[in-house]
Amino acid sequence: MDADLRSIAAARRSAEKAWDAYLKFRDTDPALIDEMVEAMARAIEPEAARLGALAAEETGYGNAEDKRIKNLFNSISIAEWLRDIKTLGVLWQDDVTKVAAVGEPMGVVAALVPVTNPTSTVIFKVLSAVKAGNAIVCAPHPRSVNCCVETAKVMARAAEQLGAPSGLIQCLDEVTIQGSAELMRHRRTSVVMATGGPGMVRAAYSSGKPTLAVGAGNVPTYVHRSKANDIGEVAEQILTSKAFDYGTACVAEQAVIADLPIARELRREMKLRGGYFCTPAESKRLAELLFTDDLGIHPDHVGQSAQRLAQLCGFDLPPRTRVLICEQEEIGRNAPLSAEKLNPVLAWYEAADVARGIELSGQIVRFGGWGHSATIHCDDPDVIAEYSRIPACRVVVNSPALAGGMGFSTDLDPSFMLGTGTSSGSIVSDNVTALHLINIKRIAYESRPWRDLYDVYGE
């Protein structure tokens, strides 16, 4: 049997097994489900480093230490937030209007997992799905099967020790595009959670099933002149966010737009803190390395260190360089480095005034990042309000795009799946959580005499 047939067969078996487990799990006391969620999160903590190392080694993307942190965020922080969230049973009731809302699970979740954040995404999606009372089958990228399977096993073992049925938490161990497609469209699948490249997202929306899918990000960060006294901290935030896990997070900064009065000082601070400004020739070689002829992201060079990228391009870097910065004049297909870059590379622009800074930021978002995120470093509320009109579903203010967008340094709902709204073809604009994985039933008592219909609208 060839790989596609094996993967399709595995998807069918997993979907059926998940459905059977869901039926057994459906009447589980929500309090016990909460205990299972806590147990799964605790089980990940001592394994976070091992699973991060497995992910970095198997995929060749990012680094083990930052993947450890991603794993811990998606166990500790997500579990902490879920602890105070009610997903099942009576969510609220209004004695005046006589309406009550009841949360019910959706069923079987098909979870597509990206190669850039494999173990952390499995953790996030499993905790969210189970908190909402669902079964879940993860479909990893073929390049990250082993680390994802191992992560799911750790979590399944912890849940099953508290009585969760076998099959409630699964991860496909034989994966092809056809197998993932079969899982998504299978009759037992209730909802699809898709995180990945544009092709995967299109496939998810073509599955015929309700789908939560997120688009690509091309995140601008505008640094306004009002941050002149804080410019070192701004530089540190941008570089740390972009360097994290070698740039594999789509919510990290992609372009810096520096307000002209502070541009020189920001440039100096970024150089001092590990940013290297490439020459035009080096930038050209870097663009040729990172992108294919049709402006696709070259998969072999995703999530590589700045040193590795420079080595491949044939130029040397100063010690402790974290991020490569490329000065750009244009935005669009003629300037590949103005697109999303899943590596520690930033585009650099300078803006003469606020209007130009906002215009450039909007152009960046529209070039491959519709609806995702944008960042501004600014202490002027009027400028922030004007900037917030650009087409991004989350605007992070005075915080790193990575930490702020995923809900660590801001009070956005903590998530590793960031909705991008209808402008990018997504049905969801929120940070996706367990609350997106329940059906809400309304129970409504009569609050006015039904015969009044004829009194109000009759002749």
Catalytic residues: 250
**CA nearest to 182, candidates 202, 215, 204, 150:** 204
Taking CA atoms, 443 is separated from 105, 134, 450, in Å, by 16, 22, 17
